[in-house]
A and B are shown apart, each in its own frame.
Chain A
Amino acid sequence: MENILLYIILFAPLVSAALSYFLTKKWAGETLVGFSLLVLLAAIMAWFKQPVSSGFELDWILAGNQNFSIGLYYDQLAGIMTIVVAIVALLVAIFSMEYMKHDGGQPRYFAMLGLFAFSMYGIVLASNLLLTFVFWELVGFSSYLLIGFWFEKDAPPISSFKAFLMNKVGDIGFLLGIFILYAFFKTLNIQELIGLDPVNAAIPNGLLIALGIGLFLAAVGKSAQFPLQTWLPDAMTGPTPVSALIHAATMVAAGVYLMVRVFPMLAPEVLTVIGIVGGITAFMGAFAAFAQNDIKKILAFSTVSQLGYMIMAVGAGFPVAAFIHLTTHAFFKAGLFLCSGSIIHYYHETNHTAGFDPQDIRNMGGLKKVLPFTFMAFTLCMLSLAGLPLFSGFLSKEMILNGLVSADHLPSFVLVFGFASVFMTAAYMARLYFKVFFNQQVAGEKYAEAVSVKVPLLTLSSLSIGFVFSMNPLSPDDSWLLSVLTSYKGIGIADHFVWVPILSIGLALSGLIFSYLYIERKMLSGLVSGVKSLTYNLSNRNFYLDDIYDVAFVSGSKTLAKAAYWWDQKVVDRVVNLMGKTQVVLAYLIGWFDRRIVDGGVRLVTWLVNFAGNRTRQVQGGNLQNYLAWAVFGVLLIFYFFELMT
């Protein structure tokens, strides 16, 4: 059993899900925590024990002589990813035990989390694209269930529906990519495909681009890129720990992970598209985060923006930078979400005013004293997100920005978006930070955070420190992740530009200071209100994307559906009914004809016979004079006849 560790990582969460749902209902949370711990240990052991590029293949679907196999594959990429997912999953499970302690649906909740983890490890470990796709869809399914966890409320079912459908749009691209690869290479094994070098193989250029765009579309759906990003903010209607795990650290990162995996199959034209889409997403997300008042929505838009960074890095040709940012982002963003969970939980527990929205930052303030632990963790994670030196976010963001500068196939506005978003990220985070934690007017009493809240927060915020990823936290090139990933095909280390970190640190600091001055010192209000009056609605409504989709796609398909149904009823079916009716009318006509004409003819004949009979009957009336008269008449007739003959 050389691959036993891989099996454990993959199937332990599924077993846990089944147990939580059917057997250990009372201990559903504990079950998941136990199994998650097991997975984490297995993932760490795999890192040391499991040989790189190992795995196995099984036959799955045999059609003719073509075999669609499935299998698992382990390399450094998968290794790091499993550890990251396992850490966040474990911490979220622990956190959920406190957060969901009053909820009656706990078995269901923890079972769904287990199902999600199973699907996520599947994506990470799958050796071929078919199996990746299977788990890809299952991730979408478990995300659907988790977003809609509180199904009795109005909003969650709608946003879960939306999330699944938008992901499905992306999945179509994935399938298209798979079809193209299969049609030309008759294999879906990722390593084999990379070996066959699709970019330089004899594929028509149009299909090569379609292949890349298709695969990228999958990532656009799952990683919430423009123009499909609008499901992610809505997905915040799910429980907050779910948002931390799925919609910050793992599921949404799957798209980036896929791009990193299939990077060698992407044509240069496709990379340009990817870079542009990433840049637009990074900017739009950061922009939309400004005018939100829901704490989770701010973080969601921030996630959209950071995912844009990763996609930008892929487009620039530096998938490893994207992957490292994925790793660092997973920890600090999960940390931020769990902090927001801690805050929401606090308001839930203490404020029972009807109509009070525990997620609205306008209701918050002074939490620095109330939730000191959360405050500390939030500070660390936020600084990491802003990309300040000594924090993990700095390392990965520098790699991406350097990559952007050295990529000359991308239009320059992508680079501008990249730097502008650094400033904006710092600014919107600081706006949130100062509103929630300072702003003393609405402060409450100190609240004791539970251990199961403290442990995840402590862990995640310490993983946001730069030293975790690099001995020299000022130099991205010294990161141990880079040296681990050197064997990965497609690695390229960007040129190092001295001005890049200086500029980005400057932008980040000025963003922080800007918001500090505006929120805490009440300065710059003239400037801000001027900008606000111009852009508030655009930002608040996320560029009206949802409204556009409502008109273009939702109403459009509903109208089309109605039209199709009308056509079906009034045209297709009416023709059928008309044919039926014509038949009936025709039958009546024939019936009439039959009765009146055919039968009438028959009756005419009988009437004639009858008439003639009646007339001739009188001949034999027994009257002798008549007989004589007829006899004479007959003789005369005969004579006349002979006369005519001669």
Chain B
Amino acid sequence: MVMDHLLSWLVFVPLIAAVVMLTIPQSQGHLYKWVALGALGIVTILSLVLVFSFNQGIAGYGADSLQFTKQLDWINLNVGSFGSLLIQYYVGVDGLSLALVLLSAIVLFIGVISSWNIKKNVQGYFLLYMVLSTSVIGCFVALDFFLFYLFFEFMLLPMYFLIGIWGGKRRAYASIKFFIYTLIGSLLILMVMIGLSLSVVQGPDSTVHTFDIMKMMNPENYLPGSLLALDFDGQLLGLTYRAWAFILLIVGFAIKLPAVPVHTWLPDAHVEAPTPISVVLAGILLKIGGYGFYRIGYTIFPDGAIEYGWWIALFGVIAIIYAAFVAMAQADLKRLIAYSSVSHMGFVMLGMASLTVEGNAGALFQMFSHGIISALLFLMSGVLYDRTGDRMIANYSGLAGKMPLFCVAVILSFFAALGLPGFSGFIAEFLVLIGAFDGAINGSVVDTFMPVLGLLGLVLGAAYFLWTIQRMFFGKFWVREESWQLPDLNARELIMIIPLVILALFFGIFPGLLLDLANETVMGFVEYVNTQGHQNLELINAAVR
């Protein structure tokens, strides 16, 4: 029974745990975290079951290559002459989402351990955390646009409160900024979703309008002459409506990723968020932006992917370089890490836009790898903040002598983040750059200067990370306040850090274990975007002319 509804269990176990929490009286406050830990423990185990029972040999990309699917009619609205509107409960995984489901489970689990010492309103905290968990996993498995959007929006609410209540000094500002930014992104996506539901029907002769993403891949399912159909000849400011829809989607998800220049919510949100929420935010929430690029933007509008891929790659490269420079100028350790996230997400955009198998595999791998490594990095800054309440780089020096274990952990995670071979980050960045370069030479949409500038990002990454190590950990021991107590890592922290380091190393040495899961899907995806995209473009150009 569990296997039949594996994905549904994955999504709703945290929600069930939330209901259970409601029944626990406040006087038994210590139980909340155990319930949360148990629920996410189950989720982690289920996701491992999912990974191990996933058939990685299924080729192609689309409805047929999905596994563990469940498709049920949910809401069926009859709208008179317009036909009817069908919203489905449609979940499933393929190579694009599988690794991200696993990542979510791991990071959310680590996040609970990291939340162990939350004191303020424990019940509320873990309730929101459970709701967040459900909606995050839901996002990665939903295949109905409406369902996806529902989960996507539902993440906002718990996140807003988790930052706004349990955050630092400027939490009100940060949380409202996060909320508004993301809401704007969601609205852009909503616009496209409505447009799509008006245009797409279940089959060529059907009048049942659908939100099924897989149906949206096939041009024959678009009502002839409808707003987003290939043969629609209307234009807005010189661009077709399909182009506008693609751009709106990409901007919407770029806010979530985040891409330069819509990234400024991220540093503020991170700096104010409590450590576990930073871990979840960087570890998973950003990936939903990247995943949205894949599953929504590129899948529904392959023509846009071809036409605007160059720009996406360009913005990716800008993010890599620009955010690296900004990171170098940071005085706050957590802000530095936040900007490094922006820089690393640039690789996702570059790899995806390259439309080569290597680049796309690299971009997916980068999402997973960055999930692990950024979680580690934010745990590192949390370790210091827990002890002193201060994260200023200039307030510390020579920590290595006082906290040797912590120093080893920091060196490992920083080198993992700057792409040292042996860690997963190297594989990701290598694949992205070699894919982009290969694509540029062999006639894809990107140019050679992009991966070359991306290489420069590697040097900058090494510069700001190592500079930080040199300033904070080496030299003579000194901290600003003599009263600061700096005990070395405790057991709880080691329980979080060691598995993450091992994962980063493991997938750096055996990348195949992850890449092989996605390989067939990625191949199918790249093939689909390239062929379907060019076909669509021809039809669109014929219609517009």
Residues of A within 8 A of B (CB): 59-66, 130, 133-135, 137-138, 141, 144, 148, 151-154, 156-158, 160-161, 164-165, 168-169, 171-172, 175-176, 178-180, 182-184, 207, 557-558, 560-565, 568, 572-573, 576, 580
Q: Which residues of A contact B462 (CB under 8 A)?
A: 164-165, 168
Residues of B within 8 A of A183 (CB): 437-438, 441-442
For residue A580, which residues in chain B have a CB less than 8 angstroms away from its CB? 177, 180
Contact check: which of B180, B326, B442, B515 meets A568 at CB < 8 Å? B326
Q: Known contacts being A62-B516, A66-B357, A557-B328, is A168 close to B458, with CB within 8 Å? A: yes
CB distance from A162 to the nearest CB of B (A): 9
Interface stretch of the complex, out of B211-219, B285-293, B367-375, B420-428: B420-428
Interface of A is mostly: helix
Q: In chain B, residues 339-387, which have Cβ atoms closer than 8 Å to a Cβ of chain A?
A: 357-358, 361-362
Q: Which residues of B contact A66 (CB under 8 A)?
A: 357-358
Residues of B within 8 A of A560 (CB): 325
Contacting pair A152 B475 (CB below 8 A) = yes
Cβ of B467: which chain A residues have Cβ within 8 Å of it?
161
Whether the Cβ atoms of B511 and A60 lie closer than 8 Å is yes
Is B435's CB under 8 angstroms from A169's CB? no
Interface of B is mostly: helix
Known: A64-B357, A151-B474, A564-B325. A134 touches B515 (CB 8 A): no
Query: Which residues of the partner chain A approach B519 to less than 8 Å between Cβ atoms?
Result: 62-64
Question: Which of A138, A165, A576 has most chain B Cβ within 10 Å?
Answer: A576
Query: What A residues does B469 contact at CB under 8 A?
Result: 157, 161
The smallest C-beta distance from B439 to any residue of chain A, in angstroms, reads 9
B501 to chain A, nearest CB (A): 15
Among A164, A171, A176, which residue has its beta carbon within 8 angstroms of that of B452?
Answer: A176
Q: Are B434 and A179 touching (Cβ within 8 A)?
A: yes
Residues of the B chain whose Cβ atoms lie less than 8 Å from the Cβ of A572: 260-261, 263-264
Point out the residue from A65, A151, A156 that lies within 8 Å of B473, measured CB to CB.
Answer: A151
- Which residues of the partner chain B approach A135 to less than 8 Å between Cβ atoms? 421
Q: Which residues of B lie under 8 Å from residue A158 when comparing CB positions?
A: 470
Assess whether A61 is in contact with B328, with CB atoms less than 8 Å apart.
no
A154–B471 Cα gap in the complex (Å)?
Answer: 10
State whether A564 touches B421 (Cβ < 8 A): no
- Are A152 and B474 within 8 A (Cβ)? yes
**Minimal Cβ-Cβ distance residue in A for B398:** A152
- Taken together as a complex, chains A and B put the C-alpha atoms of A580 and B438 apart, in Å, by 43
Q: How far is the CB of A456 from chain B (nearest CB, A)?
A: 30
Q: Is B322 engaged at the interface, CB distance under 8 Å to the other chain?
A: yes
The docked-state distance in angstroms from the alpha carbon of A372 to that of B173 is 73
CA of A500 to CA of B434, assembled, Å = 46
Q: Per-residue 0/1 for B457-491: is the Cβ within 8 Å of any A Cβ (1 yes, 0 no)? A: 01110111011011001111100000000000000
| Closest A residue to B439 using CB positions | A183
Interface residues of B in 409-429 (CB under 8 A from A): 415, 420-422, 426-427
B contact residues around A138 at 8 Å (CB):
420-422
| Residue contact A59 to B512, C-beta cutoff 8 Å | yes
Closest 8 CB pairs of A and B: A64-B357, A157-B474, A561-B328, A565-B329, A134-B421, A564-B325, A561-B329, A179-B437
Flag if A161 contacts B459 (CB, 8 Å). Answer: no
Let me know if B328 and A576 touch, CB within 8 A: no
Cα–Cα, bound, A165→B523 (Å):
36
Determine the chain A residues whose CB is within 8 A of the CB of B158 once the complex forms. none
Q: In the complex, which residues of chain B have a beta carbon less than 8 angstroms from the beta carbon of A562? A: 329
Nearest chain A CB to B468's CB is how many angstroms away?
10
B451 within 8 A of A: yes
Q: Are the CB atoms of B511 and A61 closer together than 8 Å?
A: yes
Size band of the interface chain B makes with A: 35 or more
Q: A151-B401, A175-B430 are in contact. List 4 more A-B contacts (CB 8 A).
A: A63-B358, A133-B421, A151-B474, A558-B328
Closest to B462 in A: A168
Contacts of B456 in A (CB 8 A): 172
Could you pull out 12 A-B pairs where Cβ atoms are within 8 angstroms? A59-B512, A61-B515, A63-B435, A138-B421, A151-B401, A157-B474, A175-B433, A183-B442, A557-B325, A557-B460, A561-B464, A568-B326
Kindly state whether residue B526 has any CB partner on chain A within 8 Å.
yes
**Considering the chains assembled together, what is the distance between the CA atoms of A558 and B438 in angstroms?**
33
> Contacting A169 at CB < 8 Å: which of B329, B459, B473, B477?
B459
Interface 0/1 of B280-313, CB less than 8 Å to A = 0000000000000000000000000000000000
Query: Is B522 part of the binding interface, using a Cβ–Cβ cutoff of 8 Å?
Result: yes
- Interface-centre pick from B398, B426, B441, B511 (highest chain A CB count, 10 A): B441
CB of A131 to closest CB in B, whole Å: 9
- Closest chain A residue to B431, Cβ basis: A63
Residue of B at shortest CB range from A166?
A: B459
Interface residues of B in 174-194 (CB under 8 A from A): 177, 180-181
Residues of B within 8 A of A152 (CB): 398, 400-401, 474-477
Q: Is B537 an interface residue (CB 8 A)?
A: no
* In the complex, chain A residues whose CB is within 8 Å of the CB of B530: none
Return A228 CB to nearest CB of chain B, in Å.
12
- Residue B330 at the A interface, CB < 8 A? yes
Q: How far is the CB of B135 from chain A (nearest CB, A)?
A: 25
Alpha-carbon distance A135/B509, docked complex (angstroms): 12
B522 to chain A, nearest CB (A): 7
- When the two chains form their complex, are residues B427 and A573 in contact, meaning their CB atoms are under 8 A apart? no
| B455 CB–A CB distance under 8 Å | yes
Nearest chain A residue, comparing its CB with the CB of B523:
A64
Partner of A561, one of B325, B357, B420, B459: B325
